[in-house]
Amino acid sequence: MDSWCTLRRLREVLRALLPASKNRSKAYKCLRLQKPVRNSLAAQYLLSEARKHQTTEKRLCRAHQELQAKMDTYRTYLASSRKGKELHLQYHARGERSVEESARLVGLGLPKPYDKSQDH
């Protein structure tokens, strides 16, 4: 793997960190990020790991894809945790649901109630 792949993966992970670092207040959303993501502890750790592996990949031949695998793992973790939160909010955001709501939630429909007047 070349350094271009490493740089691309590092950027993808930093982009995935972006939504995780945003505060949810309206003022903060209007200003976007007050401080760059690269100032966060997670980004500093990722950058230091990338710098450590620069010489490793080219000179020592130690696990060429180790850094790329770490970056892929971090990116997958961030995306999965975000999707997990969305699913949790979608399915567990409310208290008790009626039977009809629960059936609709999983894509089922309830049978129509029996009407004796339609019986011959």
- Distance of alpha carbon 106 from alpha carbon 103, whole angstroms: 6
Say whether pLDDT at 84 is over 60: yes
- What is the tally of structural domains in the chain? 1
Percent share of the chain, pLDDT over 90: 2
Domain that holds residue 17: 3-94
Q: Using 50, 70 and 90 to split pLDDT, how confident is the model at 21? A: low
Q: What's this model's pTM, rounded to 2 decimal places?
A: 0.51
Say whether pLDDT at 101 is over 50: yes
CB 41 within 8 A of CB 92: no
Is there a domain that residue 44 lies in?
yes
Which position has the higher pLDDT, 26 or 78? Answer: 78
Encoded tokens for 48: 């230091």
Is there a domain that residue 107 lies in?
no
Is there a domain that residue 106 lies in?
no
Which position has the higher pLDDT, 13 or 79? Answer: 79
